[in-house]
Amino acid sequence: MDEVRKVDTGARTVTRQVVVDAPAAELFAMLANPHRHSEVDGSGTVQRGVRGPERLSQGAEFSVAMKMYGLPYRIKSHVTRFEDGRLIEWRHPAGHHWRWTFDEADGRTTVTETFDYNGSRSPKVLELLKMPALNAKGISATLAGLRDRYA
């Protein structure tokens, strides 16, 4: 079974990658549907309450119920990059981005998830709150869960 790997994508990014025994189109479809994000999330923060389209596209907006440290809240995200079947990225209201890429070869897909806080309004605050390390843990759990789902 393929392990979740750390990938160096530069300063103020957290990136992990895993190979999943599933076609890219199937995996992309799951992440392109914000109503399914809670079933994929390994961090435990993404909840089921979603407002938005069934399928994301360039420029789409969606909001998600979240819960962290026992406190519920809601965030509204904006899709900033969308390459059907290959890449999807959305911007959090605080300015950071979540990016997913899907690269298929021989029926297996390399899935890469990135938390990019270069554009954050307060990157130092995120670092003080240890969000990069917390997100690294959540991303690793998410990707391991995705891998195991298709094992």
What is the tens place of the pLDDT at every residue in 116-137? Answer: 999 999 999 999 999 999 999 9
In total, how many domains does the chain have? 1
pLDDT of 32 strictly over 90 = yes
The H or E element containing residue 90 is strand 87-91
pLDDT digits (tens, 9 = 90+) for 84-96: 999 999 999 999 9
pLDDT of 38 strictly over 80 = yes
SS3 14: strand
pLDDT at 18: 98
pTM above 0.85, yes or no: yes
CA angle 88, 13, 124 (to 5 degrees): 125
**Domain encompassing residue 96:** 5-149
pLDDT of 1 strictly over 80 = no
What CATH number has the domain bearing residue 46?
3.30.530.20
